[in-house]
Amino acid sequence: MNLSNLHVRSEIIKLIRRFFDERGYLEMHTPRLVGLPGQEPYLEPFWTEVTKVESDLRLPAAFITSPEYMMKRLIAAGFDKIYDLGPCFRNGEPWDGTHDPEFLLLEWYRKDADLSSLMDETEEMVRWVVEKSRVQSRESKVTGTSRLSDFQTFRFSTPFRRLTVESAWREYTNIELAPLLGSREAMARVCREHHQTVADSDTWDDLYFKIFLSEIEPNVCKPLAANCQLPTANCQPQATFLYRYPASMAALARRSQDDPRWADRVELYVGGMELANGFAELADPVEQRKRFEEDRDLRCKMGKKTWRLDEKFLADLPQMGNAVGSAFGVDRFVMLLTGAASINDVIPSSARERFGTN
């Protein structure tokens, strides 16, 4: 437990709320326990059951991995600008580094906006919070209760870079991604050329991530040393938006109107760490049903638990209209601002501590 980092965490949470409140957003406290969680193949919910005492009815229930479904239903119901800042839960992930089974997630949604404006607002929020927190940190230094790392906050001092995924592959791996889209054979060949293992069970997405995680994600924010404002040995990368992902990785994002091979999805990376994941939201229930069914089939092939589709969500989807939304990792943000090496250093009690595995 690091008391100084917890002071920073508390300040960051207050500032995030202030940012959205001052811009006309309404805070929503969506349910953490649901009957039908998301269908994502690579996210595993925690399961329990709810009991209706008077009838002895027992129903399966899951803790949310994200408030996404409920937030989109609220946008569909008529809200224009909303945010949710609260705990989320994911099972089967590491208990160190950037992961804990329980973590603090910010999600916000707004109508009548596009991916570019979502990037604008994300950058504005991050830089505003960093600057306000730096001021507060300087003011509280005399008490020794709050600590921000000037070295770490430098990462946010310059305008964020914006780079398409296709451009990132070209820049960091010298691979042209577009010709590989949809061809597992072509992607497998490229993986072998880059000394990655290829298994018969690997999907196109699996192969994509073997190169992305090893060659792109760790380097995506790193500018040339000549462009860095710090000494070369200490050169720290600027924050970078990666956007326009392959359509197979659209999740709940819509396909790009100019080229359906790509999706209007954006992720924010800082120092090799994913900080945010945003979409221009898919409002087509037919396409969304197809994706859900494909995800459920993949879960089944992977031997994972499956459940029925959320029909209420699909029914409400068309009313959402043109909207954007983003999920933002608050714990990771605090890690970046304090220079903490592990999420365990910025939360009151880690899973390792709570479950006695230190």
Look at residue 206 and tell me if it is in a domain: yes
Same domain (yes/no): 335, 257: yes
Token pair in block for residue 163: 């780079």
Provide the number of structural domains found in the chain. 2
CATH of the domain at 145: 3.30.930.10
Same domain (yes/no): 272, 338: yes
Same domain (yes/no): 286, 332: yes
Q: Output the DSSP codes for 6-56.
A: HHHHHHHHHHHHHHHHHTT-EE----SEESS----TT-B-EEEEEEETTTT
Same domain (yes/no): 136, 211: no
Look at residue 55 and tell me if it is in a domain: no
Euclidean distance between CA atoms 266 and 185, whole angstroms: 27
Token pair in block for residue 63: 């803790």
Look at residue 167 and tell me if it is in a domain: yes
**What pLDDT sits at residue 204?**
94
Look at residue 53 and tell me if it is in a domain: no
Q: Which tens digits make up the pLDDT trace of 14-46? A: 999 999 999 999 999 999 999 999 999 999 999
Same domain (yes/no): 110, 217: no
Same domain (yes/no): 244, 350: yes
Mean pLDDT of 271-291: 94
Q: Which tens digits make up the pLDDT trace of 302-343? A: 999 999 999 999 999 999 999 999 999 999 999 999 889 899
Contact call for residues 190 and 180 (beta carbons, < 8 A) = yes
Same domain (yes/no): 170, 248: no
Q: How confident is the model at residue 353 (pLDDT cuts 50, 70, 90)?
A: confident
Mean pLDDT of 1-25: 94
Comparing 130-134, 201-205, 289-293, the range with the smallest average pLDDT is 130-134
Look at residue 308 and tell me if it is in a domain: yes
Same domain (yes/no): 121, 166: no
**What pLDDT sits at residue 227?**
45
Same domain (yes/no): 105, 144: yes
Q: How confident is the model at residue 358 (pLDDT cuts 50, 70, 90)?
A: low
The beta-strand segments (E) located in 112-168 are: 161-164
Residue-number span of the structural domain to which 326 is assigned = 3-29+72-160+238-354
Same domain (yes/no): 348, 335: yes
Look up tokens 């027992």; give the residue.
58
pLDDT of 232 over the 70 cut: no
234 against 61, higher pLDDT: 61
Backbone angles phi, psi at 51, to 5 degrees: -120, 130
Same domain (yes/no): 89, 149: yes
Query: Would you tell me how many other CB atoms lie within 10 Å of the CB of residue 71?
Result: 24
Same domain (yes/no): 178, 298: no
Amino acid identity at 315: A
**Coil, helix or strand for 200?**
coil
Q: Give the contacts of 290 (CB within 8 A, at least 6 positions apart).
A: none
Long-range contacts at 249-253 (CB < 8 A, ≥ 24 apart): 249/205, 249/208, 250/279, 250/282, 250/291, 251/40, 251/279, 251/291, 252/68, 252/72, 252/279, 252/281, 252/282, 252/288, 252/291, 253/279, 253/280, 253/281, 253/282
Look at residue 114 and tell me if it is in a domain: yes
**What pLDDT sits at residue 147?**
65
Look at residue 35 and tell me if it is in a domain: no
Euclidean distance between CA atoms 347 and 82, whole angstroms: 25
Look at residue 60 and tell me if it is in a domain: no
Mark which of 222, 250, 267 sits at the end of a domain. Answer: 222
Backbone angles phi, psi at 86, to 5 degrees: -165, 180
pLDDT of 144 over the 90 cut: no
